Amino acid sequence: MKAIIQRVTKASVTVGEEQISSIGRGLCVLLGISVEDTQKDVDYMVRKILNLRLFEDENGRAWSRSVMDRELEVLCVSQFTLQCILKGNKPDFHSAMPAELAQPFYNNMLEQLREAYKAELIKDGQFGAKMQVLIQNDGPVTIQLESPAGPTDPKLLSKQEKQQQRKEKTRSKGPSESSREKAALRSKAGASASSGAEGDVSSEREP
């Protein structure tokens, strides 16, 4: 899943001659859904959109507060063209999720945003419509975001699982056991060094 997140002073969506949605200060999010996206991608995007620190705090310090911290608005607009792959100069959109699947997927994401934040502060365009999107960028501040892709190859998944298991084994040793192992290694090294030094001294004393 790809998103273009813009900090705005205002943004609106018009379909035909009718303005169907608008916000004041906050975030305008253009969202492109991929054929490979899952619930994990939704969770990631919802978390990032609401927690990115793109706003100043009460003392004017930049990059200190999120849209939730400031209780500002969010306008989401579905934009499949973000999944474009160029073939020469011609855009190809086969990596975008088909509309009949993307619409419920997108609606689910909107619901999660509303549940995680304040429903009345999450606004939307009109899925599948030809929209005029007015964005008054503040800054300008624009963040390009892409949900992390998980491995789909079974061999890569198996390798990832083994790496995770090794990490867990390392953590399970605990600090005390790890410290004892380090101390034992140090004492062995010290004993070897001491033995070697004594041997040198004794050999020098022999007539």
For residue 37, pLDDT over 60 is answered with: yes
Q: What is the pLDDT of residues 86-122, one digit of tens each?
A: 999 999 999 999 999 999 999 999 999 999 999 999 9
CA angle 38, 43, 46 (to 5 degrees): 125
Q: What is the pLDDT of residues 125-164, one digit of tens each?
A: 999 999 999 999 999 999 999 999 755 455 555 555 566 5
Buried (b) or exposed (e) across 152-169, using 16+ Cβ within 10 A?
A: eeeeeeeeeeeeeeeeee
| Token representation of residue 68 | 């939730």
Instruction: Name which of 22, 20, 65, 74 is nearest 45 in CA terms.
Output: 74
Could you tell me where the DSSP H helices lie in 9-141? 39-51, 99-116
Question: For tokens 């003392």, what's the residue?
Answer: 59
Q: How many residues does the chain have?
A: 207
Give yes or no for a contact between 32 and 2, defined as CB atoms under 8 angstroms apart: yes
According to the 3-state scheme, what is the secondary structure of 35-58? CCCCHHHHHHHHHHHHHCCCECCC
Collapse the DSSP code of 69 into the 3-class scheme (helix H, G, I; strand E, B; otherwise coil) and give the result: coil
Give yes or no for a contact between 123 and 133, defined as CB atoms under 8 angstroms apart: no
| Token representation of residue 180 | 């004892």
What is the pLDDT, as a whole number, of residue 94? 94
Q: Which residues neighbour 113 within 8 Å (Cβ) at sequence distance 6 or greater?
A: 46, 49, 50, 74, 76, 122
What is the pLDDT, as a whole number, of residue 149? 75
What is the pLDDT, as a whole number, of residue 120? 97
| Token representation of residue 52 | 């990115």
DSSP3 helix / strand / coil % (the chain, rounded to 5): 45, 30, 25
Q: How confident is the model at residue 198 (pLDDT cuts 50, 70, 90)?
A: very low
Q: How confident is the model at residue 183 (pLDDT cuts 50, 70, 90)?
A: low
| Token representation of residue 206 | 């022999």
**Mean pLDDT for the chain overall:** 84
